[in-house]
Amino acid sequence: MAEFSWDVRSPLDRALLAGPYGAHGDAGVTLTEIRNFDLVQVMARRGKAVDMATVAKTRFGVAAPETPKAVHTADATLIWSGPDQFFILAKNGKHAMDWLVPTFAASGSLSEQSHARALISISGAKARAMLAKLSSIDLHPGAFAVGAAAATSMDHTSVTLWRGNDRDGQAVLNVLVFATFAESLWHTMLDSAAEYGVAIAHSEELT
Amino acid sequence: MAVAQTNRLGNGGLIDRSAPLSFRFDGKSFSGFQGDTLASALVANGVKLVGRSFKYHRPRGILTAGSEEPNALVELRSGSRREPNTKATTAELYEGLEAASQNRWPSLRFDVMSVNQLFAPIFVAGFYYKTFMWPAKFWEAIYEPAIRRAAGLGRAAGVADPDHYDKAWAHCDVLVAGSGPAGLAAALAAGRSGARVILCEEDFAFGGRLLSDGGTIDGLPAAEWLLRTLAELAAMPDVRIMNRTTLFGVYDGGTYGALERVNDHLPSPPEHQVRQRLWRIVAKRCVVAAGALERPIVFAGNDTPGVMMASAMRTYVGRYAAAPAKRIALFTNNEDGWRTVETALGAGLQIAAVIDARPDISSAHRSLASKNGFTVLHGAVSGVDGGKDGVRKIAVSLTGGARAEVEADGLAVSGGWNPAVGLTSYHRGRPKWRDDIAAFVPDGAPPGMVAAGAANGDFGLGACLSQGFAAGAAAAHDAGHGGKAGTAPVADDEAFSVTPLWHVAGKGKAFVDYQHDVTASDIELAQREGFESVEHLKRYTTLGMATDQGKTSNVAGLAIMAAVSGRSIPETGTTIYRPPYVPVAIGAFAGHHRDETFHATRLTPSHHWAAEQGAVFVDTGLWKRAQWYPRAGEKDWLESVTREVKAVRSGVGFCDVSTLGKIDVHGPDAGAFLDRVYINTFSNLAVGKARYGLMLREDGIVYDDGTTSRLAEDHYFLTTTTAKAGLVMQHLEFCRQVLFPELDVQLTSVSDQWAQFSIAGPKTRDLLKEIVDPTEDLSNEGFPFMGAREVALRGGIKARLFRISFSGEMAFEISVPARYGEAMARNLMLAGKSFGVTPYGTEALGVMRIEKGHIAGPELSGTTTAADLGLDKMMSTKKDFIGRVMAGREALVAPDRQVVVGIKPTDKARRLRSGAHIIPKGQTPGPGNDQGYVTSVCFSPASDQWIGLALVERGRERIGEIVHAHDPIRGEDYDVELCNPVFYDPDGGRQRG
Amino acid sequence: MRIVCPFCGERELGEFTYLGDAKPVRPAADAGEDAVYDYVYLRDNIAGVMSENWYHGGGCRAWLKVTRNTLTHEISAVEPAAGAGAAKVGA
């Protein structure tokens, strides 16, 4: 009997080459793929929005976002993804489907999306300049504050975009993109960022 | 050795004399300085002749100093970067610049095509319409090629542009167009108020007319005020000033288009940088401070090299320290023209005469004339004596009828100023006429936009500053910013008076539109022939239709039309203004979207594995799919595909089908919802079972198909075709949110969550037994046909298994989370190794579905009904569903509809082609007897011949009939037999076994 | 053009898909062929203010009812479709 190994490959496994890219010198943009996360989409059932919110509050200790926001808890990020719905982004199975389905059984419909998205974290002094080439959203610090989120499109590709906590005084913008589009958008991002110099990395840590 | 800069003034100008640059024009070497444009460098080198005109190949010089230039168009750069119709007046000089004049052969000074002038009477308005009407067949063969050779405005590079372009978004409270005094004042006021400001300037230097005309602002010389103001703006974090950026369009909802020429001023863009960037700017408010354009006066010989706009002459002298002529005459009808005299005298140039069309001139100007020893003539220029070497003598018709002559080598012309009304008129706005300045000014503007300064018809420096400042402060306030703007910069206003003069009668060609060679007599002819409306005038004469869009010609043209048709100028009106304000390269609109990145690409989870196997990929929509997997020694695709089909039919193969759209349908009403969107019933589907479903559009035509499985009481897993995945999701959301909001159902796209493989062939179960956990029952009883459930795989992961078949073989589809997709492909190879497992591509998939008579994209053509496809029995009569009522309409159930049927050639060796028309045997093909067409074909290994599916009138009643296939595209005619569309295993035993 | 999505805020046109007149209501199952024919085929093409269906497919996937002047492109109102963001309401 053959031995089967089930090694996982992120959607950017082949396309991502860690290291510098584009213009030499200090990288203006840092692109980091976050790998192997858990992602579940929760949609409220009819008349159950309040129940769903209560369940979420109980499990996560914070209110699930009802407007385009991303809320951080100790071990999860709840990201608004549309009316009556949000994503639960976490690691290591702490908030995987097996746990969540019974929790939300009466109030929400859950879909496994862990493998359906790639997660790219963008930071650096030129992150906004680079994203201006991809996103029609106004990312000015005053218009897109920490915790702001958007269901939007980049390069005609649907994405979920949110601003995480600042790191080293710089904004961190996160993009969840459909997995089968990820390599294409990745190359577009590299093209857009090349003139600023890029530092490419991947990580298993959610920021 | 470069020619000395013979016409460069000894001092002054905003050029960097410490940075000399060499360049070539028509192969000859010249030098200029950093800060020059190509035009100013040519002026500095005494070059007057820079091009030949479009229609008559007349010698032309430089007319203006800006983006309105109609004459000085050159081919810039060479090879793949050669760019035709580049305005020498805006092209910045760089070291090694190469430019060539246009529309001349064999050389600029000796141009054979200038014989066109001798035939000038035939090149009149409407020339093409009149001349090339008859005989019609001559058009393509003779007329058009000849015209194309003779005409044209420069040559395209003919090879792909090696440079990159991109597009970006910007957002602000206040957008300012133009950095002249009004624009700078507006940006200053808005920025100080706390607004986010973007200021776009098309020039490489900020300042607008301040750079050429100077002045005193807040008691400071203009240059000093400019530096101070730019420093203040640069220090504001939310103010962005962009040079080399032209605001070219105004779109709905406060969206603006701008083109930034990021690296046009360099020989080629630095590595990783773009040549140009297209900006989409979203602004709450916009202040248009785009200034005004000086307009020519139409007189005979007004296109002679050396005739130049008066303000342009000031710019060359003042800004670039380059003298367009040594002895200058001025022809003006307004006060402003005289400033050129002052500038020229200040630079030590000689004034030959001033020809002023106004009845009176000021005493100050009179004393200027007497002090500097030049005459002032009251009258108008009626002709110019000169040629390719430029102006020599100027004929003047004096007021009262006498004539005079002036010897000069340059003629400055000022016919007044036209506010740049383009941006304010792009939403079909019509500017209004102001008599006092004899010009059109904005009459309202798109929402959120206001014009200020010269763009609003107020030309004085003081007025520009105060209006701009007030507009900037108001815009910031409207956008919600209440900070203190402080006080507006102050300057005096210059006097301005104008006596309208459009056209001076005289002998010889008098040009209105220089770029398109439209003359005053063309306009008169158009009027005589009845083309009086400005829109007709424009199209009949091509006035204003060249790349300069008539910036220097439109108003003069309609003024002449007004005069000859006996109407006033406002009665005559303007044509509709449309963006772009300046030509924008298609490359800039495309940005990143060219070649391989023309559109986003989707890759299947096993893509890289398939690439390793040497798969040939095909583009299907956005997807790259493995089409077949060639093996060494196979001579063509058909051999590979046939091998794959045979391997599946005799053993086992697998194919990545992850491209299918996949949708989670959740909720207590999920079944009821599916009943309404499918023609068949899903509410009664048992948990753990799959069912094929067909969707109609509301008009009764088939929309999409696919299998849907019930995974739990309140959870269905729906699949769509690859092509319609996005559209079906949109349609289902429409049904959920708009049509049936009463249902408690939730939809989520899970297309990308699952890597899905079809495993097919008689040894499928053997393969699965290797990889599926041994506790799972895969027998016919334990996992019957159309079963669907989660199974454990060896090695610890879970998969979804569906017993469905598209190939007609014993088959399953298996889904694993997508990050396992590549491992799944490898493990299927491993599990099937002893059974000769064969990966197959979309071609083999297609062959097997055609052999089984399964419909796909070519049959779901947007014209077929369920009955046409032989699926009418699926239509439930016990429930309502989308398309139910319309599907019953007379034409959709007519007995003579074209329905799916099989075809095979009577000559077994013949290859079939899709698209061939079906005609009754023995008849001559024609629209009257066209009975359908071939939709899908393949070489069938099972039948050992080409087979196909076709949509044929009453096809199912005609099984066995021989019909004729007519393929006019490929020039083929042959007979085919209509047959049962199920060529392979018609009773379906293999897939159930 | 820009549309203010009631859920997402103001967004550019490229995120939206236009469907058409939002006024016609899908007839009841027993309404008969004429009523359905009318619903499917007989549409007004108004030069002026019109209520339209738009899909925010490049964003939150909500269907919206947009009141738009087809002559000026001025948008005077945007509201969610009955079933968009309706989880607070019982089924």
CA distance A28 to chain C (A): 27
**Which residue would you say has higher pLDDT here, B840 or A207?**
B840
* Residue of chain C with shortest Cα separation from A65: C7
Contact B443, B432 (CB under 8 A): yes
In the complex, which subunits touch C with 3 or more CB pairs below 8 angstroms? A, B
pLDDT at B825 over 70: yes
The answer for residues whose C-beta is within 8 angstroms of residue B951's C-beta and 6 or more apart is B859, B861, B864, B868, B898, B899, B900, B901, B932, B933, B935
**Is A6 in contact with B167 (Cβ distance < 8 A)?**
no
Could you tell me the pTM of the whole model?
0.95
**Is B170 in contact with A41 (Cβ distance < 8 A)?**
no
Give the relative orientation of helices B461-478 and B181-192 as an angle to the nearest 10 degrees.
Answer: 30
Burial of residue B857 (number of CB atoms within 10 Å: 0-12, 13-18, 19+): middle
- Is the CB of residue C79 less than 8 Å away from at least one CB of chain A? no
- The beta-carbon neighbor of B166 closest among A112, A133, A183 is A133
For chain B, what percent of residues have pLDDT higher than 90? 90
- Is the CB of residue C4 less than 8 Å away from at least one CB of chain B? no
- The beta-carbon neighbor of A152 closest among C59, C62, C88 is C59
Contact B145, B132 (CB under 8 A): no
In this prediction, residue B1 carries a pLDDT of 46
- How far apart, in whole angstroms, are the C-alpha atoms of residue B648 and residue A21? 45
pLDDT at C89 over 90: no
Report pLDDT digits (tens) over B854-883. 999 999 999 999 999 999 999 999 999 999
In the complex, which subunits touch B with 3 or more CB pairs below 8 angstroms? A, C
Which residues does chain B have within 8 Å of residue A185's beta carbon, measured at their own beta carbons? 600
Report pLDDT digits (tens) over B302-323. 999 999 999 999 999 999 999 9
* Interface mutation vs chain C, best among B738, B751, B882, B893, most C CBs within 10 Å: B738
CA distance B23 to chain C (A): 44
Say whether the peptide bond before residue B106 is cis (omega within 30 degrees of 0).
Answer: yes
Report pLDDT digits (tens) over B258-317. 999 999 999 999 999 999 999 999 999 999 999 999 999 999 999 999 999 999 999 999
Say whether the peptide bond before residue B762 is cis (omega within 30 degrees of 0).
Answer: no
What would the 3-class secondary structure string for B187-244 be?
HHHHHHCCCCEEEECCCCCCCCCHHHHCCEECCEEHHHHHHHHHHHHHCCCCEEEECC
- The beta-carbon neighbor of A140 closest among B171, B820, B822 is B171
Q: Which of A190-194, B391-395, B424-428 has the lowest mean pLDDT?
A: B424-428
In the complex, which subunits touch A with 3 or more CB pairs below 8 angstroms? B, C
Report pLDDT digits (tens) over A110-156. 999 999 999 999 999 999 999 999 999 999 999 999 999 999 999 99
- The beta-carbon neighbor of A179 closest among B282, B752, B771 is B752
pLDDT at B65 over 60: yes
pLDDT at B151 over 70: no
CA distance A35 to chain B (A): 10
Neighbours of B500 (CB within 10 A): 16
Report pLDDT digits (tens) over B940-976. 999 999 999 999 999 999 999 999 999 999 999 999 9
Residue whose tokens read 């009577």: B906
ipTM over 0.95: yes
Residues A87-102: what's their mean pLDDT? 93
Contact A109, A86 (CB under 8 A): no
Neighbours of A88 (CB within 10 A): 26
For chain B, give the mean pLDDT: 94
pLDDT at B452 over 50: yes
Task: Please list the residues that pair with B25 across neighbouring strands.
Answer: B28, B99
In this prediction, residue B68 carries a pLDDT of 96
Going across the sheet that includes B661-666, the strands are B690-696, B702-712, B715-720, B661-666, B746-749
Contact B325, B488 (CB under 8 A): no
* Interface mutation vs chain C, best among A52, A84, A85, A155, most C CBs within 10 Å: A84
Residues B45-69: what's their mean pLDDT? 93
Which residues does chain A have within 8 Å of residue C86's beta carbon, measured at their own beta carbons? 46, 84
Count how many pairs of residues, chain B against chain C, have C-beta atoms within 8 Å. Answer: 73
Which residues does chain C have within 8 Å of residue A82's beta carbon, measured at their own beta carbons? 7, 59-62
* Residue of chain A with shortest Cα separation from C7: A83
In this prediction, residue B992 carries a pLDDT of 82
Report pLDDT digits (tens) over C39-69. 999 999 999 999 999 999 999 999 999 999 9
pLDDT at B2 over 60: no
In this prediction, residue B14 carries a pLDDT of 96
Q: CA angle C69-C74-C75, nearest 5°?
A: 90
- For B831, phi then psi, to 5°, come to -65, -30
Residues B344-363: what's their mean pLDDT? 95
- The beta-carbon neighbor of B746 closest among A43, A136, A178 is A43
Rg, Å, chain A Cα set: 18
**Is C33 in contact with B737 (Cβ distance < 8 A)?**
no
In this prediction, residue B953 carries a pLDDT of 97
The SS3 assignment for B780 reads coil
Report pLDDT digits (tens) over B522-539. 999 999 999 999 999 999
Residues B657-682: what's their mean pLDDT? 98
Q: Give how far Cα B15 sits from Cα of B20, B23, B50, B211, B588, Å.
A: 10, 16, 22, 11, 30
Which residues does chain C have within 8 Å of residue B886's beta carbon, measured at their own beta carbons? 33, 36-37, 40
Residues B909-920: what's their mean pLDDT? 97
What does the DSSP 8-state code read for residue B92?
A: B
Query: B131: pLDDT confidence band, cut at 50, 70 and 90?
Result: low
- Is the CB of residue C78 less than 8 Å away from at least one CB of chain B? no
The A residues from 41 to 100 touching B (CB cutoff 8 Å) are 41, 43-47
Say whether the peptide bond before residue B135 is cis (omega within 30 degrees of 0).
Answer: yes
Residues B443-452: what's their mean pLDDT? 96
Which residues does chain C have within 8 Å of residue A45's beta carbon, measured at their own beta carbons? 87, 91
The SS3 assignment for B991 reads helix
Residues B409-426: what's their mean pLDDT? 96
**Is A183 in contact with B273 (Cβ distance < 8 A)?**
no
**Is A43 in contact with B167 (Cβ distance < 8 A)?**
no
Q: Characterize the bridge pairing of strands B811-817 and B798-802.
A: antiparallel
- Is the CB of residue C60 less than 8 Å away from at least one CB of chain A? yes
For chain A, give the mean pLDDT: 95
The identity of residue B914, as a single letter, is S
Neighbours of B623 (CB within 10 A): 20
In this prediction, residue B144 carries a pLDDT of 57
In this prediction, residue B928 carries a pLDDT of 93
For chain C, give the mean pLDDT: 95
- Is the CB of residue A179 less than 8 Å away from at least one CB of chain B? yes
